[in-house]
Chain A
Amino acid sequence: MRLERGILLFVAILALASCKPPRRAEGRDPSRGPSTLTIKGSDTMVMLAQRQAEAFMEKNPGVSVQVTGGGSGTGIAALINGTTEIATASRPMKASEKAQVEERRGRPAVEHAVALDGIAIYVHESNPVPHLTLDQIKRIYEGRIRDWSEVGGSPGRITLYSRENSSGTYAYFKEAVLEDEDFDPRTQPLPGTAAVVNAIARDPRGIGFGGIAYGGGVRALPVKKDESSEAVVPSLETVTAGTYPISRKLFMYTAGEPTGLAAQFLEFALSPEGQQLAEKAGYYPLRPTNRE
């Protein structure tokens, strides 16, 4: 009986508590002062920003940097509404979004390249194909080349893997490699690089692309820019030197030129130390020429 009374009390307390949902925001003070910086956006860049934020906080005691994901759209929306100082995006900002930033914040959105993302072409480790040209990759993904024997491999139907159409990697690959043509409808979009690697490790006829990842069972295929050029494997040297043909920049956006803590953080992100952290997160440092 006492147990049951206790349960009843518990239920009653829950009932009381539910009557007054906390509707006042004391925690998120908009005027937090200059010692806090918020970075919000792309899930794929959370790890990068987080590593840089940790090192930055260590170097600047008393400063707090909050990193959250939620997607590029969420980050950009937060930038538009002024709830984040820096938005990370794995896709370039759309013109309509830039216009919204200008309208709501009174300042134009400023783009900061913070790292390079090399897009590797993955095949199964047993795949004998020595290399592919950009044009071959394009035709494979358009569905015009359907069999491995057409590109020097052992006969077998090619299975296509890509990233989800909402991802920045998808948009970049489509623009840079497919020259804005559409993917073959049989392409299987997967939600992340790990999913691509996992799929290809189990599929000897598969081909996929994604950021740099480590995993057994797959190899990154050397890529030739055209018939006459050399086949290049994605690596620190080739991506930063620009000889590997498929790489893109990753961006952080601010509303207007960054000031205060945001400026300090971006400066740190572009410093040699910050760039080294980008490498640890699976990306490549920017070429010296990219550092403005």
Chain B
Amino acid sequence: MEGVPSESLREGFGGLETASSRAVAATPDPAGSRLRRRKAIDRAARWIITLIASTAIAAVALIFLFLAREAFPILTSAAVHEEVTLGKMIFPQPWREGEPAYYAWQPVSKVPKYSLLPLLVGTFKVALIALIFAVPVAVLGAVFTSELAPRRVREIVKPAVELLAGIPSVVLGFFVLMVLATHLQDLFGLQYRLNTIVAGIGLGLTIVPVIFTLSEDALTAVPQRYREAAFALGASRTRTAWSVVLPAASPGIFAAIVLGFGRAMGETMIVLMASGNAAILSWDPTLPVRTVPATIAAEMGEVVVGGPHWTVLFVLGVLLLLLTIGFNGLSGWYVRRLRQRLGGTS
């Protein structure tokens, strides 16, 4: 019944209008003016509703516009160019005399250094660790819950996942910082207590619910007759889940993973509290890491309004926005592919 009512209602409205115009002709004037007023209200309401419904579009447009507006001086302002240009942010710079060019993020310095690469590598690195932790847990959990588990287990797991999704990220960050980091350091004998792995696992905890829920949706979207066909061929429940349902749902699960990756890149409080925040250009997961969102959060509060540093932080915001929108779009594309695949085979 989804989507259908509006269509048929519209036809209903049409019929109604002719009926009421006949009524206008038959009744004396006062009732007619009341009807006119009611119809005017109806028309006004339609306009107002359409107008207010555009808020979401306006919001997205304004977010782009105003982030770009604050980031724009990076291209045009001479005052900003004294400290930083887009080229200096992208390419390695000979920051110190007599030394080869390198990447560095050190905005408060005699020569402020604003290389993007350490932050970008850090952001991807920590999001990857989050995926490595979250994907097996969430996807396997979703398969188990939707295909194998008895109903009673399902009724425990699903609210538990919702509860996990509802834990504020600052609380998770706190937990990782105060408790988890020490245990992990003792367990693996790491040099750095706050490092990429610790922050990645914290991030993983926030994206487990995202991946779990979307994967479960994808699995339940697989038509029941697929399973019945497998059972008829003598496959067990587990076998069916592994060889039939999981492959059929794979684009949806992939969409969930991509969306989870996007979320992990944009998450702020956990990495701010538990990642060590050192801007090191390295793929080593045992080192501390500084991500784009954590950099914005840590540095925005004290910078000079409208200055070069402020502009650079907004450039980081634009970059983060584009990256996450890109991953969102990719995820949406896979969801459509899932629908096509499941719809196409029927």
Do A and B have CB atoms closer than 8 angstroms in the complex?
yes
Which of A's residues lie within 8 Å of B, judged by CB?
A: 43, 70-74, 76-77, 91, 94, 96-97, 157, 159, 164-167, 170-171, 174, 180, 182-183, 185-191, 198-199, 202-203, 205-206
Q: Establish whether residues B106 and A164, one from each chain, have CB atoms under 8 Å apart when the complex forms.
A: no
Cα A182 to Cα B287 with chains together (Å): 19
Q: Establish whether residues A191 and B193, one from each chain, have CB atoms under 8 Å apart when the complex forms.
A: no
How many A-B residue contacts, CB cutoff 8 Å?
84
Q: For the complex of A and B, list the 4 residue pairs with the smallest distance between their C-beta atoms, beginning with the closest.
A: A166-B302, A71-B301, A188-B276, A165-B108
Cβ of B221 to closest chain A Cβ, rounded Å: 32
Q: Establish whether residues A77 and B108, one from each chain, have CB atoms under 8 Å apart when the complex forms.
A: no
Q: Establish whether residues B302 and A205, one from each chain, have CB atoms under 8 Å apart when the complex forms.
A: no
Q: Establish whether residues B277 and A188, one from each chain, have CB atoms under 8 Å apart when the complex forms.
A: yes
Mask of B289-303 contacts with A, CB within 8 angstroms, 1/0: 000000000111111
Residues 236-288 (chain B) with a chain A CB within 8 angstroms: 272, 276-281, 287-288
Cα A76 to Cα B192 with chains together (Å): 37
Q: Establish whether residues B272 and A191, one from each chain, have CB atoms under 8 Å apart when the complex forms.
A: yes
Cα A70 to Cα B300 with chains together (Å): 11
Chain B residues contacting A70 (CB-CB under 8 Å) are 301
Q: Establish whether residues B106 and A205, one from each chain, have CB atoms under 8 Å apart when the complex forms.
A: no
Cβ of A211 to closest chain B Cβ, rounded Å: 16
Q: Establish whether residues B307 and A166, one from each chain, have CB atoms under 8 Å apart when the complex forms.
A: no
Cα A91 to Cα B194 with chains together (Å): 27
Contact for A186 among B182, B278, B299, CB less than 8 A: B278
Is B346 an interface position by the 8 A CB rule? no
Closest to B178 in A: A198
Residues 59-97 (chain B) with a chain A CB within 8 angstroms: none
Residue among B118, B192, B279, B301 with max Cβ neighbours from chain A (10 Å): B301
- 30 of the cross-chain contacts (CB-CB < 8 Å) are A70-B301, A73-B301, A73-B302, A73-B305, A91-B302, A96-B307, A159-B192, A159-B193, A164-B298, A164-B299, A165-B106, A165-B298, A165-B299, A166-B298, A166-B301, A166-B302, A180-B109, A185-B279, A188-B194, A188-B277, A188-B278, A188-B288, A189-B278, A190-B277, A191-B272, A198-B178, A199-B193, A202-B182, A203-B193, A205-B191
Contact for A73 among B287, B288, B298, B304, CB less than 8 A: B304
- Assuming the A-B contacts A164-B298, A166-B299, A186-B280, are A96 and B304 also in contact, with contact meaning beta carbons closer than 8 angstroms in the complex? yes
Cβ of B107 to closest chain A Cβ, rounded Å: 6
Chain A residues contacting B104 (CB-CB under 8 Å) are 182, 185
Cα A164 to Cα B302 with chains together (Å): 10
Cα A225 to Cα B281 with chains together (Å): 34
Contact for B302 among A71, A185, A206, CB less than 8 A: A71
Cα A20 to Cα B296 with chains together (Å): 33
Mask of B97-123 contacts with A, CB within 8 angstroms, 1/0: 000000010111110010000100000
Q: Establish whether residues A166 and B192, one from each chain, have CB atoms under 8 Å apart when the complex forms.
A: no
- Assuming the A-B contacts A191-B272, A203-B193, are A167 and B304 also in contact, with contact meaning beta carbons closer than 8 angstroms in the complex? no
Closest to B310 in A: A73
Cβ of B309 to closest chain A Cβ, rounded Å: 9
Excluding A71-B301, A190-B277, 16 further A-B contacts by CB distance (< 8 Å) are A73-B302, A73-B304, A73-B305, A165-B299, A166-B298, A166-B300, A166-B303, A182-B113, A183-B106, A185-B104, A185-B281, A186-B278, A186-B288, A188-B192, A189-B278, A202-B182
Is B181 an interface position by the 8 A CB rule? yes
Residue among A96, A182, A185 with max Cβ neighbours from chain B (10 Å): A185
Cα A165 to Cα B277 with chains together (Å): 11
Cα A71 to Cα B309 with chains together (Å): 15
- Assuming the A-B contacts A165-B106, A186-B280, are A72 and B192 also in contact, with contact meaning beta carbons closer than 8 angstroms in the complex? no
Q: Establish whether residues A167 and B302, one from each chain, have CB atoms under 8 Å apart when the complex forms.
A: yes
Cα A188 to Cα B198 with chains together (Å): 14
